[in-house]
Amino acid sequence: MLARQDLLRAWEKGELRFDPDITLDQINLSSIDLRLGCIFTKQKAQSAVVIRPAQNFDPSDHVQNTILKVKEIFRLSPNEFALGQTLEKIRLPAKFSAHVHGRSSLARCGLSVHATAPHIHPGFYGPITLEFFNCGKWELEFFAGVDIICQLILWEVKTPPPKQVIEKIGSYLGQTKPFPAKRRR
């Protein structure tokens, strides 16, 4: 796991890149804070529809995308699920992988930031999709483009995969919306 001095070194050397770039105060003891982006996806309520997500599911007809402006409010009601993205697009070199985790202060209010998919593969580039679920009793509000929503924890990869392997089998590389159709291998 990379600690603060490792994170600082990788960021200063340009090995870890963010767009927009992060600030020094986003780097913690062993993680990097990321902000809430402006693009969100919610599932459409549809009766008599059965989804088989493990069968190369294309979500286009079953979700609704919303784009907010910076400082507009994103609301999540109790028992509501939505996808969002980080404001920062990341670019990981092949020598790093990462996990994204929610922040404990938000979890204490009932927010789950990733339902089941915290892993980010070596060589990933793009914004990170977050799986929001409000399991609390309160309506939650966040400012798009402003609020710190998650933390990125980085790991050094023992044997980095070659670029052509990353491009061939990497899922969601360069994604532009929270629920794109999965790349076929």
Q: What residues are annotated to the active site?
A: 131
* CA–CA distance, 40 with 98 (Å, rounded to integer): 22
